[in-house]
Structure 1
Amino acid sequence: MQNIKNIIFDYGNVIFEINFKKAQVALAQLGIANIEDFFAHKTHNTLFDDFETASISEDEFRAGIRAAAENPNLTDAEIDAAWNSLLIGVPPTIHDTLLKVREKYRTFLLSNNNVIHYKYIISYLDREFGMPDNSSLFEKTYYSQDMFLRKPHVEIFKKVIQENGLVAEETLFIDDSPQHLVGAKQAGFQTLLMDVHPRELESFLKKHQIL
């Protein structure tokens, strides 16, 4: 890593552990067939992209799940529980690590997210850490549903650059999804693939001489 002054972190499986398989099982149990085609880490139904960019509402997302399951009687609670099942939590000391990084760099969060997951995460952070949100850990946080854009589209990276006066070549983007690094590279960022469990974030950063 050369001349890094700014770091942009992804959230899921970089900071907050998620498990796509758990959601696949839960959605399949609602009655959704061909779950690998419908929802997986690298490919999924456009319903999820639309929800992450706020192109559709919570109610429209749930209606899409009911249609896919061919079950109009699924309750909101059943759908939300299945969808939120992939959210595992933040391993111990991760927040302390992020604060250490913030002492050395300008840091930002950039997450593909959606309203249902965001509400769950906010509740989780308050319950487990007494935190109202992630804002104390970063200079600024960005969520796709607020930006009407999602990774890996290069425009979402350019927006973060422009709003914060960043130099792209001095900015490192860390994500666990190789496809998301493509857009970051197109925007001129340096990139790192997070290929370890979130609990190993600090050792990962030390390995790459960031901490």
Structure 2
Amino acid sequence: METVLAQKIKNIIFDYGNVIFEIDFSKAQNALLQLGIPDIETFFGHKGHNNLFSELETGAISAAEFRNGIRLAAQNPDLKDEEIDTAWNSLLIGVPENVHDVLIEVKQKYRTFLLSNTNEIHYNYILDYLKRAYKIENNDGLFEKAYYSQLMLLRKPNVEIFERVIKENGLVPDETLFIDDSPQHLVGAKKAGLNTLLMDRNPKDLRQFLVEHNLL
């Protein structure tokens, strides 16, 4: 298990998927497979995927262009927008009931930030979900600032995305912790001088994870 010198940490940057919001890649893999996309592990896996997803996450292509890319990959020009969006959004499970309370607790002790690789289609779904499930408009009240890849035109693990968050908020990297469930994203964070922890459990256990690392 990784350790950080908790007493020096003043700022925490959280990833969103599978740190705060539970996601299930296998559901999206199965749904995309049902659309007719072959070789799904290569096309969309946790540790690697078709460039179509990275381009959507960095705002390099629009949602409409992404959907056309899915139609091309599935060799089915008749797929409806709604079918594609439903398949793509199927990985989004939700925020466990206690997690927002944990984030508010953490915010009272540290400067906190959200840094998420996401995209227009997921972002819109998540905003609708937060209104339905938690009666909040967005994540802004849970953090000092929330950052999303498609709005920054950058994605993790690019070191520049971490450097921008550091610079914009006057953070001291050695006093800042980044928590993510993807080992490859921690590599970019370390290059930016950040302390890192790999989230290795379900988001419902976020508070216990923070307690175990002496952060709460």
Residue 38 of structure 2 corresponds to residue 33 of structure 1:
yes
For residues 19 and 47 of structure 2, what CA distance do their matches in structure 1 show? 16
Q: 2:92 is matched with which residue? A: 87
Q: 1:144 is matched with which residue? A: 149
Q: Please list the CA deviations of residues 26-51 of structure 1 after superposition, one character each: whole Å capped at 9, or x if unmatched.
A: 00000000000000101000000000
Residue 116 of structure 2 corresponds to residue 111 of structure 1:
yes
In the alignment, residue 125 of structure 1 is paired with which amino acid? Answer: L
Q: 2:71 aligns with which of 66, 70, 89?
A: 66
Taking structure 1 as the reference length, the TM-score comes to 1.00
Where does 1:1-211 land on structure 2 (aligned, <5 Å)?
Answer: 1-2=4-5, 3-211=8-216
For residues 196 and 130 of structure 1, what CA distance do their matches in structure 2 show? 26
For residues 197 and 126 of structure 1, what CA distance do their matches in structure 2 show? 22
In the alignment, residue 154 of structure 1 is paired with which amino acid? Answer: V
Structure 1: runs of 5 or more not aligned? none
Secondary structure (helix, strand or coil) at the match of 2:108 reads helix
Secondary structure (helix, strand or coil) at the match of 1:126 reads helix
Give the CA RMSD over aligned residues.
0.3
Question: Which consecutive segments of 4 or more residues in structure 1 shift more than 3 A?
Answer: none
For residues 8 and 22 of structure 1, what CA distance do their matches in structure 2 show? 27
Shift of 1:103: 0.3
For residues 28 and 142 of structure 2, what CA distance do their matches in structure 1 show? 27
Shift of 1:148: 0.2
Secondary structure (helix, strand or coil) at the match of 1:104 reads coil
Shift of 1:90: 0.3
In the alignment, residue 61 of structure 2 is paired with which amino acid? Answer: I
For residues 10 and 161 of structure 2, what CA distance do their matches in structure 1 show? 19
In the alignment, residue 49 of structure 1 is paired with which amino acid? Answer: S
